[in-house]
Amino acid sequence: MGSSQWNDRISFHRDPSTATCKVSSIQSFIYGGFSSRFWLMRKHINSMQPSELKDLPFYCWECITIQTDTRDIDLVIKNEKDMRYLLEFLIISLKTLDGYRDTAAKYLLSTKGIKCGSQKRPSSPSRFFKSKKECEHAKQIREVVTEDASREEEQRLYLRVFKKFTILRVRMKISFMALKKMVPVQELLLESILATHKAYCAQGNEVRQYQRVDSQVYSQLLQGQIDLKVLCWSKIEAEAAEMAASGEQHCGED
């Protein structure tokens, strides 16, 4: 197989994918199955039986839509690690807070008191940094917003943005678990809390008994007649006074 005669018989022709695009042409991205193509699949999934939900081709948290100047690219990434890498790359490359290009950059500039253009979403790629109409202080922009997110303030902001998308993934998984059991999300959470409590008690652990709050207090909270902070603080003071009284009683017995 290593002979020159065999190698001459092999030829490769590389065709670029129709989904290939430049990073500069990406204007935004949507994490989750919320674009029109994935939304059609949602209608079908909601009509399926719980037993059929085990063999789905993909799930909502495995979907991402990249929106460019000319088209939308819908991707399904089953590997959670690869999805995390792609999200981190898109957040830093687009400098985004919510998936749209340059929203994080404008936020960082506003924290430094640097005025920028009034256009909310740039019509051309990277125009926010190149056009003088968008911002007159190009040098100050480069000092605040770097291309590789090398400043500590940028890194902290992008980490917070990534955590928001992580929470969104968790919420999508919880919603799917509720769909499989055909129960509301609130009921699913309460059942999980109850099951954890029963398992904790079954292990022989001591469970602290809390005093039941009067129903009138709840109604006053809902009507805004009682401040929750004041209620919690008064509860803490009552418990502290009770502990102090029990301590003095034990000291008197000794």
pLDDT at residue 248 tops 70: no
pLDDT in tens, 177-233: 998 888 899 899 889 888 888 888 888 777 666 666 667 776 776 677 767 666 666
pLDDT in tens, 97-127: 999 988 888 888 777 776 665 444 444 444 4
Query: What angle is formed at CA 69 by the lines to CA 109 and CA 160, rounded to 5 degrees?
Result: 40
The structural domains of the chain, with segments of one domain joined by +, span 25-105+150-181
Query: What percent of the chain lies above the pLDDT cut of 90?
Result: 20
Burial string for 68-96 (b: 16+ CB within 10 Å, else e) reads beeeebbeebeeeeebeebbbebbbebbb
